[in-house]
Structure 1
Amino acid sequence: MMPRPTAALDIDALSFAYGAKKALDQLSFRIYPGECTLLLGPNGAGKSTLFSLITRLYDSHDGHIALCGFDLQKQTGQALAKLGIVFQQTTLDMDLSVLDNLYYHAALHGISRKQAALRIEQELLRLAMWERRHEKVRQLNGGHRRRVEIARALLHQPQLLLLDEPTVGLDVPSRQAIVEYVHQLVRDTGLAVLWASHLIDEVYPDDYVLVLHKGQIKANGTVDEVLQLTGTSGIKDAFRELTEGVAV
């Protein structure tokens, strides 16, 4: 049997508290290349805290975080170089063009202008945004802005992509297009994805599901494994079972 590859994300005994209030309690899980993991949880479950720790917006915690084998605290630069992020709130410069936003991000990662041009064209073509490259971001609708943010997150060729509810506020066609694109990207490239969502229909049958509730992992496995654990026939019912009846 071939040995399993190094985990793209390795979380071990991770805990975090805001003063006396514990937000995360002994979280342990791994995400491997080629896996799309949907992080499900009601408001206040700890999803945002977890993402803040992985991206080092927060630093002080108990436990261990590694990205592609690099310790996040001891090898911060090497670890974060493996990470691409799309935040829930847009962080694009609205007054710059699509191209200028992407070239600026590439420069921050030390990518040469020539190499950046090739990667920008590749990503925008894959996202059907090449024809919009000279438009200012404020001229784009929400779905197209999200596509630019995904392209930006992939420019430095990360091995782990974090998506923090990227489809919030989008119309159904835009949301479905992004969901399908990300899943296809995982299939085609072997990228690892951790996708925070509260929308059950964004879970595909071959995804992994991580249910977080009150700072603890209530389920972690394939869709079939989570359904078997809860004795339910669908992820929506499984989520309710695991979160004490919280609706989605």
Structure 2
Amino acid sequence: MKALAVQGVSHAFGQSRALREVDLSIEEGSFAVLLGPNGAGKTTLVSLLTGLYAAQHGQIDIFGRNLRKDPLGALAALGIVFQAPTLDLDLSVIENLRYHAALHGLSRADSDMRGMAELSRLRMEERAHDKVRSLSGGLRRRVEIARALMHEPRLLVLDEATAGLDVATRRFLMRYVRDLCRERGLSVLWTTHLLDEVGPEDALFLLHRGAIRWRGSAAELTKGEGLTAAFLRLTEQPA
């Protein structure tokens, strides 16, 4: 079964077309990268996947559940880390996790057990009772990842999750999410504009001006010319 199937999705804001007949699918248990320059339409697509907007054309299925016909069933399988920070700064780390867990019907005991387990894996258990306001940007991102995993989703979507972070933190988060994919069988859609976040084994979708310009393995795209040259060619940018 496909973890995610996007078919013929188009969306516009007024006269501005953000997405044009987008087709992409992610195999269950795979790590896929949605790569594109700023303004390509990545965040718009994520907003459609999460139900923030309703797609004007086309359909979206998450593990076989149609987002339009069965939004609760589809979204129950989805965990999301948005590009813009969404934590409550005046709550503690564990309180943020509890609030998310409660929205998914988890008991206080279950939310604390899952929350501390996720924080431990992220090396943050000692910060569980700290106010989010006191955390660095990188630690806040770790909390957002922990929160997205609280209800044990099968598909994790991360929209520019490393934007603005230092190199060491970026590498830690990328390695952590890739390990989740391998160890838990989690399906992942990682969106980025940074070429060094693409691995040769990744499924790759290159989005530019709202349209998919490449789909396939990253290794196939880079064969013979390298990722930078291929990216510049497909996004029509001068070298």
State the Cα distance separating 1:242 from its structure 2 match: 0.8
Partners of 2:82 and 2:188 in 1: how far apart?
Answer: 14
Q: Relative to 1, partners in 2 of residues 1:221 and 1:246: Cα closer, same or farther, differing over 3 Å?
A: farther
The TM-score normalised by the length of structure 1 is: 0.93
Q: Structure 1 residue 187 and structure 2 residue 179: aligned?
A: no
Identity over aligned pairs, percent: 52
- Which letter does structure 2 place at the counterpart of 1:220? R
**2-structure distance, mates of 1:50, 1:132:** 33
Divergent runs of 4+, >3 A: none
Distance 2:228 2:185 in 1: 27
In 1, Cα distance between equivalents of 2:108 and 2:120: 18
Residues 1-248 of structure 1 mapped to structure 2, 5 A cutoff: 6-228=1-223, 231-232=224-225, 234-245=226-237
**Alignment CA distance shift 1:31-1:246 (3 Å):** farther
Structure 1 residues 130-162: Cα deviation after superposition (integer angstroms, max 9, x where no partner): 111111101111111100000000000111111
Letter in 1 for 2:212: I
Give 1:15 deviation, angstroms.
1.0
Relative to structure 1, is the Cα distance of residues 77 and 165 closer, same or farther in structure 2, using a 3 angstrom cutoff? same
Question: In structure 2, how many angstroms separate the alpha carbons of the residues matched to 1:103 and 1:37?
Answer: 29
Query: Which runs of 5 or more structure 1 residues have no equivalent in the other structure?
Result: 1-5
Partner in structure 2 of residue 3 of structure 1? none
Q: CA deviation at 1:73?
A: 0.4
Q: How far apart, CA to CA, are the structure 1 residues paired with 2:100 and 2:110?
A: 13
CA RMSD, Structure 1 to Structure 2 (Å): 1.3
Segment of structure 1 superposing worse, 238-247 or 159-168:
238-247
Looking at structure 2, the residues matched to 204 and 214 of structure 1 have their Cα atoms a distance apart, in angstroms, of 23
Q: Deviations over 1:81-107 (max 9, x none)?
A: 111111111111111111111111100
